[in-house]
């Protein structure tokens, strides 16, 4: 490890105390205080509180950042897997900020309910797929059908309460980037580029790892050259830091929205 790599490694490790603090914090319930903004947001759909959608987002982000850090501490730099891990960290942290960022209650609730709706929708799809499993008994099929109907009712109720119907993962990351880095357009743009790049890794597409590779020219008589990707502390540190800062803002917003005025 040269001095430049060591500097990036040390910077990542410097985030460990905060990540450990958030890990411990997530181990116990932390409902919003009565009459706080987030308590009022939760009240619009108490069956699946918006505050819990935020907490699972922030908790997931912290876990994935710690996973990336743990691999580095073990001396492992993964040319692809580190970046799929960081993509999840970036999306999860951004989702928390996306929900809590707006000061206007109606906007916060619309965004939070959109995440709740997505949760119910994916759960319903999972149960529907279970119906076609070859070893499911008739009794189990009936139980699954009842569960699908119940989830459908909750899904419809959440939509009717005012969920945003036009949310996408890219919108979530873009919104969070603007909230956290809006005063620094270069960093805001970098976050959006990280999201695009990391998504290539998550979908196992060649271009994303190719941009981090060292390319050798084709040998005489060969059509293609070769590329080597060995992992890079710098390439890991940049999206790691962006995700960390968005996660930090997410926990700050959670505290802000959860405290009674």
Chain centroid to CA 5: 26
Q: How far apart are CA 243 and CA 111, in angstroms?
A: 20
Residue 185's pLDDT is what? Answer: 96
CB 212 within 8 A of CB 235: yes
Q: What is the pLDDT of residues 91-112, one digit of tens each?
A: 999 999 999 999 999 999 999 9
In this predicted structure, the answer to whether residue 154 has a pLDDT above a threshold of 90 is yes
In this predicted structure, the answer to whether residue 25 has a pLDDT above a threshold of 80 is yes
Q: What is the pLDDT of residues 61-99, one digit of tens each?
A: 999 999 999 999 999 999 999 999 999 999 999 999 999
Residue 156's pLDDT is what? Answer: 95
pTM of the model: 0.94
Confidence of residue 230 (pLDDT cuts 50, 70, 90): confident
**In the chain, where the domains are located:** 55-214+229-258
The mean pLDDT value for 40-50 works out to 97
CB 89 within 8 A of CB 65: yes
The secondary structure of residue 135, as a DSSP letter, is T
* Residue/partner pairs of 145-154 with CB below 8 Å, 24 or more apart: 148/124, 151/120, 151/123, 151/124, 151/127, 152/124, 154/47, 154/48, 154/120
Residue 254's pLDDT is what? Answer: 98
């Amino acid at each position: 490890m040269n001095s430049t790599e060591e500097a990036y490694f040390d910077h990542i490790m410097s985030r460990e105390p905060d990540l450990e603090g958030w890990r411990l914090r997530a181990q116990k319930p932390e409902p919003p205080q009565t009459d706080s903004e987030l308590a009022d947001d939760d009240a619009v759909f108490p069956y699946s509180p918006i505050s819990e959608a935020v907490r699972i987002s922030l908790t997931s982000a912290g876990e994935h950042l710690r996973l990336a850090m743990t691999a580095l501490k073990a001396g492992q730099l993964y040319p692809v897997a580190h970046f799929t891990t960081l993509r999840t960290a970036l999306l999860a942290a951004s989702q928390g900020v996306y929900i809590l960022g707006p000061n206007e209650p109606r906007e916060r609730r619309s965004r939070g309910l959109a995440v709740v709706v997505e949760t119910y929708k994916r759960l319903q799809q999972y149960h529907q797929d279970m119906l076609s499993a070859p070893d499911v008994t008739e009794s189990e099929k009936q139980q699954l059908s009842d569960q699908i109907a119940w989830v459908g009712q909750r899904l419809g109720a959440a939509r009717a309460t005012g969920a945003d119907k036009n949310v996408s993962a890219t919108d979530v990351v873009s919104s969070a980037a603007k909230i956290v880095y809006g005063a620094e357009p270069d960093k805001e743009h970098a976050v959006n580029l990280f999201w695009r790049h990391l998504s290539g890794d998550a979908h196992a597409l060649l271009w994303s790892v190719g941009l981090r590779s060292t390319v050798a020219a084709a040998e005489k008589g060969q059509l293609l050259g070769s590329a080597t990707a060995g992992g890079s502390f710098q390439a890991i540190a940049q999206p790691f830091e962006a995700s960390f800062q968005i996660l930090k803002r997410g926990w700050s917003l959670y505290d802000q929205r959860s405290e009674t005025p």
